[in-house]
A and B are shown apart, each in its own frame.
Chain A
């Protein structure tokens, strides 16, 4: 990989909740080069969206951040004023929940063209580009859509409007938080193909948050797996599913239903999920892990290199090759 465009090191974030500070991220490190796509998967509540929001400098008020987030060599955690605005123009975020991030009383057209207009593009030209961007994400009747309000659009249409808005900004990095979950799989395929193209042609870098391991494997170069506020494994996308190093990654792969056969029951992970702030001293996954030993509860291992990737599991070497999804599903 060339010099990374985005480099996050030892990121930790706490938020104030009812007068106390609560850890939502406690150890996140990742890097994405120009034209590269990193998938981010993991437990609901593990901090995927918070990671993206930290990078976009859009954390909730009162958040305290430690560690560094470098974009093109500059630490962005301390940017202010004009520099922060310039940074935000290079980084586009596609939010997990479009409806909460769009002004309900503004027309789609105003929303899509606002950034272009600020950059000095004439009104008619901005509208033309917006219609073309909508066509790109599979919305053919763009002119009609520009006149509509958010509540008149289906979930998938609104999500595509968000993707179109992100791409119209011509960013260098896109933080896409489950950008295709509200789309049918055919449209999803098209949208991902467009992003692929932009990566190849313009060197767009992508942080891709998803719950779909198969999708991440197909469109990402590498995948990072999060659990309770920390990254527990990072691997080449092609090998994570079939050869996971962390028991939690294996459990994720095993829990997925199959499109070509009906399973009597899905392999849910036993036990209750834990949030970062209530994670025990040792490995946060240990209480639910079929392979945990006493030492797992004692100490949290660091994320360390293994098999061309990285893993945070004390037993990773011993368990290597024994975590294939079928085995977990049967157990």
Chain B
């Protein structure tokens, strides 16, 4: 692959005596798209947080555009550059937005911080970003509390795009959207990638969505990568037993929910 835009080696994170991430390697080509799927609690968000610098790895290295960022940034300029290069859209659209600030103000702040656009240009850019993710003027002026879950998530995506990053980490970014808006956002993400060559790390529990957006996919279980490969291969011909179980659990015609663990209610603990 071309010089990777993002490369992580031996990533590890320990909380107390709990190993949340246990030796994860990953590489992302410029304009590439990497899916991460797997068990709930397997360390996907922790990996995402380490990539964007919100959580410090216990061990391992992370480089973006060839520059190491395993150590905390020194100085404002360095911090700002790191923030611009990698943006994140969180799993949870509620917590990630400032409740006192309208989406337009939030976008304006990002544009002021990361670009040298003047007021008029910023205003135009905000309208354009709103249009891009399907937020109208009224929604752009609303308080986050008055927006539905899916509307807030579009604000978060617009904010990530505003900084014109090299990598966007999307952690369950489309899970809160209805399928027609989700289709719109997935098409949009594909278009933006084709147009400006931004790369994605796309974390999701929805294997169909991952298939649509990611060229390569990692499968995580208990802090480790248990399988990796081209997305179609991982989904159509899973090798690892956990990947097979995951693939078999996707609802579809004829599917019924099943309980694997022994029932424990009322049992001795």
Nearest Cβ in chain B — how far from A121, in angstroms? 14
Nearest Cβ in chain A — how far from B131, in angstroms? 10
Which of A45, A99, A135, A189 interacts with B249 by CB under 8 Å? A189
In the complex, are the beta carbons of B236 and A266 less than 8 A apart? no
Which of A43, A97, A186 interacts with B245 by CB under 8 Å? A186
Which of A128, A152, A215, A263 interacts with B212 by CB under 8 Å? A263
In the complex, are the beta carbons of A190 and B260 less than 8 A apart? yes
A217 / chain B contacts, CB cutoff of 8 Å: 251
In the complex, are the beta carbons of A100 and B146 less than 8 A apart? no
Interface size class on chain A is 35 or more
Stretch in B67-75, B80-88, B120-128, B201-209 touching the partner: B201-209
B146 / chain A contacts, CB cutoff of 8 Å: 17
In the complex, are the beta carbons of A44 and B257 less than 8 A apart? no
In the complex, are the beta carbons of A273 and B181 less than 8 A apart? yes
Which of B180, B256, B258, B261 interacts with A252 by CB under 8 Å? B180
Task: Please tell me if B58 contacts chain A, counting CB pairs below 8 Å.
Answer: no
In the complex, are the beta carbons of A213 and B257 less than 8 A apart? no
In the complex, are the beta carbons of A219 and B257 less than 8 A apart? yes
Task: Please tell me if A12 contacts chain B, counting CB pairs below 8 Å.
Answer: no
Task: Please tell me if B259 contacts chain A, counting CB pairs below 8 Å.
Answer: yes
Within 8 A of B (CB), among A151-173: 152-157, 160
In the complex, are the beta carbons of A184 and B40 less than 8 A apart? yes
Within 8 A of A (CB), among B254-269: 255-261, 263-267, 269
Task: Please tell me if A118 contacts chain B, counting CB pairs below 8 Å.
Answer: no
A14 / chain B contacts, CB cutoff of 8 Å: none
B66 / chain A contacts, CB cutoff of 8 Å: none
In the complex, are the beta carbons of A182 and B91 less than 8 A apart? yes
Task: Please tell me if A20 contacts chain B, counting CB pairs below 8 Å.
Answer: no
Task: Please tell me if A79 contacts chain B, counting CB pairs below 8 Å.
Answer: no
Query: With A45-B148, A190-B260, A262-B211 given, is the CB distance from A183 to B186 under 8 Å?
Result: no
A128–B155 CA distance with the chains assembled, in angstroms: 42
Nearest Cβ in chain A — how far from B182, in angstroms? 7
A296–B244 CA distance with the chains assembled, in angstroms: 48
Stretch in B2-10, B25-33, B106-114, B169-177 touching the partner: B169-177
Task: Please tell me if A105 contacts chain B, counting CB pairs below 8 Å.
Answer: no
In the complex, are the beta carbons of A266 and B260 less than 8 A apart? no
Task: Please tell me if A1 contacts chain B, counting CB pairs below 8 Å.
Answer: no
A191 / chain B contacts, CB cutoff of 8 Å: 257
Which of A49, A154, A259 interacts with B45 by CB under 8 Å? A154
A312–B51 CA distance with the chains assembled, in angstroms: 48
A115–B263 CA distance with the chains assembled, in angstroms: 23
A197–B266 CA distance with the chains assembled, in angstroms: 15
Question: Which residue numbers of A lie inside 8 Å of B, CB to CB?
Answer: 17, 41-46, 49, 96-97, 99-100, 128, 131-133, 135-136, 138, 140, 142, 152-157, 160, 178, 181-194, 196-197, 211-215, 217-219, 251-252, 255-263, 265-269, 272-273
Q: Please list the 7 inter-chain residue pairs (A to B) with the smallest Cβ-Cβ separation, ordered nearest first.
A: A44-B150, A156-B40, A266-B183, A192-B257, A45-B148, A185-B249, A193-B257
Question: Which residue numbers of B lie inside 8 Å of A, CB to CB?
Answer: 15, 37-41, 45, 91-95, 134, 136, 146-151, 172, 175-184, 186-187, 190, 205, 207-209, 211-212, 232, 235-236, 245-247, 249-253, 255-261, 263-267, 269
